[in-house]
Amino acid sequence: MAMVSDTVELRGHIIDSLILPKVLDEIMTLGGTFEIVDLAVGHRREDPSRATIRVTASDADRLQAILSRIGQHGAVPVTGEDARLVPADLDGAFPDGFYCTTHFDTWMSREGRWIAVERPEMDCGIRFDPATGRAETIPMHKVRRGDLIVVGHAGVKVAPIDRSPERSVFEFMASSVSSEKPKAVVIREMAAHIKTARAAGGKVLVVAGPAVIHTGAGGHLERLIAAGYVQVLFAGNALAAHDIEQALYGTSLGMSLDAGMPVDEGHEHHLRAINTIRRVGGIKQAVEKGILRRGIMHACVVHGVDYVLAGSIRDDGPLPDVITDAVKAQDAMREKIRGVTVGIMIATTLHSIATGNILPASVKLICVDINPAVVTKLADRGSFQAMGLVTDVEPFLRALAEHLVPAMSHGVS
């Protein structure tokens, strides 16, 4: 049987980031063989390396599958070939064989020139605009008939995130998920990284679940917002509703946050809180009328924090600010993540997964939950940019606020 082969090249920190062994393992796992034609290893740790690899398979389909898989690790065929563009034949669907994106930085080749794909996002396609010469990721529902969509893997390359030359808290905490990690040290390092990101002009995104309110941690997040350490908030109806409930009634799910005991008719409080907001038209209106005077949502309005509240099928009310169309909520989230360099995901599985799916790999993610299974799922992004911490949300936010808020005494916008 005639074998088929192609030659690919890897560049970057492919040794210490373990990209080279990953590529070789993928080739063998998919039934191929390899020959390292050339290998140039950087002389110092900060120097990039280069590997040229000949990949061989039993047939063209198997070879294409291998090239597709290792392409996700940055392996690019050395034979220059432009990306294949096919017009979409109907709205809301890609052409058959479309290129499915990752969250890594991606380029497409056009007339021998590499063009950066704007707004990297996983599980999308690539649309090319010949009028502007620009390429961008596009979710399936936004495709319109006639859009030029990249088909196949030829002429596309990706650049996985390299391991930093300096060991960081992200690298250490991403090594495994355990409740036995040194939390105080880790949170201090995380706070320092957030401070650095803000000083560089990066935005901090917080994705939070209602446990932030139930555990009495809302005040800590409110302090972080007031201090300028949160620029974007993603949440659901529940966090906002119970935050407003505690602001108006001092309870969350009918439990007094001061006494830790249920109060008479407390089970009605969240519904009455939602109704109060609905009667005035929304959260911002409630703040402007002096009805809502404290809490996370109040702080967001007062300090100009962008927020997206995405609804679910189980929501009471919901609040007027909640986007009940899931597709529209996704699009709203995509618009708000521009400029985000750090994401903090706290005690919410579904909203955090949805957010992780739309963020580029360059965004550093901090995933915090009391459930190790949730943290593992959220932190597993295939890069050194995500880490998980198994702990309760209240002590985490309290410690983070203690590290960050005093440093903001001179103010940062």
Summarised one tens digit per residue, pLDDT across range 24-79 is: 999 999 999 999 999 999 888 888 899 999 999 999 889 989 998 998 888 988 87
The distance of Cα 368 from the centroid of its chain, to the nearest Å, equals 14
DSSP for residue 139: -
169-408: CATH homologous superfamily?
putative lor/sdh protein like domains (3.40.50.10690)
The crossing angle, in degrees rounded to 10, of helices 326-336 and 349-358 is 60
Per-residue pLDDT tens over the stretch 104-158: 999 999 998 999 999 999 999 999 999 999 999 999 999 999 999 999 988 998 9
Please write down the long-range contacts of 272-278, taking CB distance under 8 Å and 24 or more positions apart: 272/248, 273/241, 273/244, 273/245, 273/247, 273/248, 273/249, 274/241, 274/244, 274/316, 274/317, 274/318, 274/319, 275/317, 276/244, 276/248, 277/244, 277/319, 277/320, 278/317, 278/319, 278/320
Task: Provide the CATH number for the domain formed by 80-162 in this structure.
Answer: 2.40.420.10
Which CATH architecture fits 1-79? Answer: 2-Layer Sandwich (3.30)
DSSP β-bridge partners for residue 55: 6, 34
C-alpha–C-alpha distance, residues 188 and 312, integer Å: 35
Q: Which residues lie closer than 8 Å to 45 by C-beta, 6 or more apart?
A: 16, 165
- Asked if pLDDT for residue 407 goes beyond 50, the answer is no
Could you give the 3-state DSSP secondary structure of residue 206?
Answer: strand
pLDDT at residue 172 in the model: 46
* Residue length of the chain: 413
Q: Residue 168's pLDDT is what?
A: 55
pLDDT of 402 reads: 96
pLDDT at 400 over 90: yes
Model confidence band, residue 336 (pLDDT cutoffs 50, 70, 90): very high
DSSP symbol at 330: H
**110 vs 344: CA distance, rounded Å:** 37
Q: Find where tokens 């410690």 sit.
A: 399
Cβ contacts of residue 196 below 8 Å, gap of 6+? Answer: none
Write down the H helix ranges in 237-364: 237-249, 269-280, 283-288, 296-302, 326-336, 349-358
Phi, psi of 305 (to 5 degrees): -80, 125
> What pLDDT was estimated at residue 208?
98
Residue 380 burial by Cβ neighbours in a 10 Å radius (0-12, 13-18, 19+): middle
d(C-alpha 277, C-alpha 351), whole Å: 23
Report residue 9 as tokens.
Answer: 């090249």
The domain locations on the chain are 1-79, 80-162, 169-408
- What pLDDT sits at residue 200? 97
Burial class (CB in 10 A: 0-12, 13-18, 19+), 47: exposed
Tokens of 236: 């659901």
Mean pLDDT of the chain: 90
